[in-house]
Structure 1
Amino acid sequence: MRRTKRRYGPIVLLALMCMLIGEAGCTSGPATKASPGPGATKGGLPPGAPTGNGDETVATVGGESITRGQLVDQLLANYGPQTLRTLMLRIAVEKEAEAKGISITDEEVEQELRRMSEGYDSEEQFYASMREQLGMDRDEVRRDAKYRLQLEQLATLQVEVPEEEIERYIKEHPDEFGPRTELRLSHIVAAKRSDAEQIVHRLEEGEDFEELAREKSTDEFTSENGGDMGWVDADDPLTDAALLKAAVALDVGQTAGPVRTASGYEIVKLTGRNTEAGMDAEAAKREARRQLALDKAVPMADLEQSLLEKYGAQISDPSLKS
């Protein structure tokens, strides 16, 4: 299923810069009347942002201080043009959505957040990942989701999708709209079949699967976590088909193998199974139309540039021009 590409880098930098620069650097000019984007309030600052001056020491090393001003100058030099463009886009998209009468409901935002969190074990893990990797709290993630939905609706506003195309798309992509089964898998990978058979024997003798994975598995990406592969779709194209076939037939807690795969010989354990009901007819039509409309729509980068031009975006500081 096609997704709008999410460019989190400028968003995170925008919030970081606003926090570092302080109130004087993020609230000047008429831009404060619009919603500048994730991490900013009506006044332009993220909640709890400090307002220290540029001489404030933010770090020391070898007895030398690094000031807030030095840090801000470096951030502006490295990322200023990109981050400023993100801020201007937030304003332009907000204005255009208002002009076109586009209103994003809480339900639409929640649905988009559910889409974004697919592949995570839980909603809590998704938000924890956004916070740890990107520095975005729940409100910032929600604001970005709303912005993306506004941009999508602006892009597809004039796109016509015939009913027969929608019906055909649904028939040709049953995996996107029908019932979906996810499997939580763990595995132990061995280079030789004899090694794998020895591991199977030790499991039959009652040894712990996770401990054996840490000790014996040649997969360095999962061995430290006891072989845990996380949740995968039952028909995930990125997971070895033979391994999935063996796992689907298991009950939770059971193991199978050795299974010959591209990685060697694997013993797989099913640690969880989750089956979600498919979309109802109307929801499937809405989602199919959305995907088809996005395929036909003007590229997002072109739309963003046209909105900046429409609303007369100008950069006054030459050092912040790309």
Structure 2
Amino acid sequence: MWQTKRLGKPIVLLALTWALAAEAGCTAKPALTAEPSGTEPIPSGSMSGAPGGAGDTVAIVGETRITRQQLLNALLGSYGEQTLRMMMLRLAVQKEAQSAGISITEASLDRELRKASEGYQSLEDFYDARRQQLGMTPDDVREDLLYKLQLEALAIRGVEVTDAEVDQYMSDHPEEFAPKEELKLSHIVVERQKDAAHLVDLLAQGEDFAELAAANSQDADTAADGGSLGWVETDDPFVAPELLAAAAKLEIGEAAGPIRTDAGYEVVLVEGRRGSGEQDGQANREAAKREYALSVSPPLSEVEQTLLDKYDAKVLDGALQY
């Protein structure tokens, strides 16, 4: 389980503020130069200056202004050390991963995202929780998971794991590696309910689902492939829960609709169903092997510090020492 401490919404804001300040050329004055602790009255015309400067006003309260530099100083004073360390760690891990030839695939990221979002009703609910709790965008979430996977891959390189150890680990963690039912699905997405109902009628008359999907579906990613969603688990957060609930009640070869989802109105076809004995056991074994290797490797915090030491990472601003 990912245990790295998240630094919270202010950290995301601080990183953004740094970027804005750098783009605006706010480098003439050190970020931690002392400013008067109070605020200043708004001089005539102060709101009309060039945006992005260290002295431009970012907020007003009555006749008092808060400048960009004051905001930067407050954020740096509260979160600067933690944010700087996080940035340094990400650079060190990225450099080491590149040096070691470690590449994280999109498929691996997707699997990790599915795992991270377990317990949420949908992937959008998971993203929304991260946005509200931590100020993270979906891209931020994927970057966070990429860092996690790179760091873990670095931590376990060189760790030898036997088949017997994998077997024992899977036996000790049945809830984690118990196989789930999967459905092979295709769908058609349209805007109006009556259009979906018409498609169901056409299917009942013997029309081909793939041809109808190619001609009518608004899901550009699947329409060209006959609407195919491939094999999905019955609780897959990437698929609308309403669609999965409807598909779970169908037999192989049956279609149903209209089904109201966030995408519009859908028609779903169940093309296959497989249970515990037919799942990809090798994928489970690889996951168990990684988890066991992590359990016997040094703590990730030690790996992070080792990488900072290896790349001679130094904080040059004394006020940002951690």
Q: 1:180 to 1:281 in 2, by over 3 A?
A: closer
Q: Does the 8 Å CA contact 1:178/1:277 hold for their aligned counterparts?
A: no
CA distance in structure 1 between the aligned counterparts of 2:292 and 2:280, rounded to whole angstroms? 18
CA distance in structure 1 between the aligned counterparts of 2:15 and 2:173, rounded to whole angstroms? 43
- In the other structure, the counterpart of 2:131 is 131
Q: 1:110 to 1:164 in 2, by over 3 A?
A: same
Q: Does the 8 Å CA contact 2:54/2:68 hold for their aligned counterparts?
A: yes
CA distance in structure 1 between the aligned counterparts of 2:144 and 2:290, rounded to whole angstroms? 19
Secondary structure of the 1:55 match is coil
- In the other structure, the counterpart of 1:16 is 13
Question: What TM-score comes out, normalization by structure 1 length?
Answer: 0.59
Q: Which has the larger radius of gyration?
A: 2
CA distance in structure 2 between the aligned counterparts of 1:107 and 1:180, rounded to whole angstroms? 19
Deviation at 1:133, TM superposition (A): 1.9
Q: 1:27 to 1:67 in 2, by over 3 A?
A: closer
Q: Does the 8 Å CA contact 1:20/1:72 hold for their aligned counterparts?
A: yes
Q: Does the 8 Å CA contact 1:93/1:150 hold for their aligned counterparts?
A: yes
Secondary structure of the 2:7 match is helix
CA distance in structure 1 between the aligned counterparts of 2:300 and 2:6, rounded to whole angstroms? 15
C-alpha deviations, 1:207-266, integer Å up to 9, x for none? xxxxxxxxxxxxxxxxxxxxxxxxxxxxxxxxxxxxxxxxxxxxxxxxxxxxxxxxxxxx
Residue 150 (structure 1) aligned with residue 114 (structure 2): no
Deviation at 1:277, TM superposition (A): 5.4
Q: 1:63 to 1:24 in 2, by over 3 A?
A: closer
Residue 100 (structure 1) aligned with residue 100 (structure 2): yes
Deviation at 1:99, TM superposition (A): 0.7
Please report the RMSD computed on the Cα atoms of aligned residues, expressed in angstroms: 2.5
CA distance in structure 1 between the aligned counterparts of 2:15 and 2:304, rounded to whole angstroms? 22
- In the other structure, the counterpart of 1:4 is 2
Q: Does the 8 Å CA contact 1:18/1:26 hold for their aligned counterparts?
A: no
Q: Does the 8 Å CA contact 2:97/2:150 hold for their aligned counterparts?
A: yes
Q: Does the 8 Å CA contact 1:22/1:52 hold for their aligned counterparts?
A: no
C-alpha deviations, 1:97-147, integer Å up to 9, x for none? 011110000000001111110111001111111122211111111111111
C-alpha deviations, 1:166-224, integer Å up to 9, x for none? 0112123222122459xxxxxxxxxxxxxxxxxxxxxxxxxxxxxxxxxxxxxxxxxxx
Deviation at 1:59, TM superposition (A): 2.0
Q: 1:57 to 1:27 in 2, by over 3 A?
A: closer
Q: Unaligned stretches of 5+ in structure 1?
A: 29-50, 182-275
Q: 1:277 to 1:156 in 2, by over 3 A?
A: farther
Deviation at 1:8, TM superposition (A): 2.2
Q: Unaligned stretches of 5+ in structure 2?
A: 26-50, 182-273
C-alpha deviations, 1:24-43, integer Å up to 9, x for none? 53899xxxxxxxxxxxxxxx
- In the other structure, the counterpart of 1:59 is 59
Letter in 2 for 1:167: D
CA distance in structure 2 between the aligned counterparts of 1:27 and 1:178, rounded to whole angstroms? 53
Counting matched residue pairs gives 205
Secondary structure of the 1:9 match is coil
- In the other structure, the counterpart of 2:236 is none
CA distance in structure 2 between the aligned counterparts of 1:163 and 1:22, rounded to whole angstroms? 48
Secondary structure of the 1:160 match is coil
Secondary structure of the 1:66 match is strand
C-alpha deviations, 1:281-301, integer Å up to 9, x for none? 101111111111111111111
**TM alignment of 1:1-322, pairs within 5 A:** 3-9=1-7, 12-25=9-22, 52-179=52-179, 280-322=280-322
Secondary structure of the 1:112 match is helix
Q: 1:171 to 1:18 in 2, by over 3 A?
A: closer
Letter in 1 for 2:5: R
Secondary structure of the 2:53 match is coil
CA distance in structure 1 between the aligned counterparts of 2:275 and 2:73, rounded to whole angstroms? 52
CA distance in structure 1 between the aligned counterparts of 2:309 and 2:24, rounded to whole angstroms? 22
Secondary structure of the 1:84 match is helix
CA distance in structure 2 between the aligned counterparts of 1:88 and 1:156, rounded to whole angstroms? 21
Secondary structure of the 1:158 match is coil
CA distance in structure 1 between the aligned counterparts of 2:24 and 2:156, rounded to whole angstroms? 33
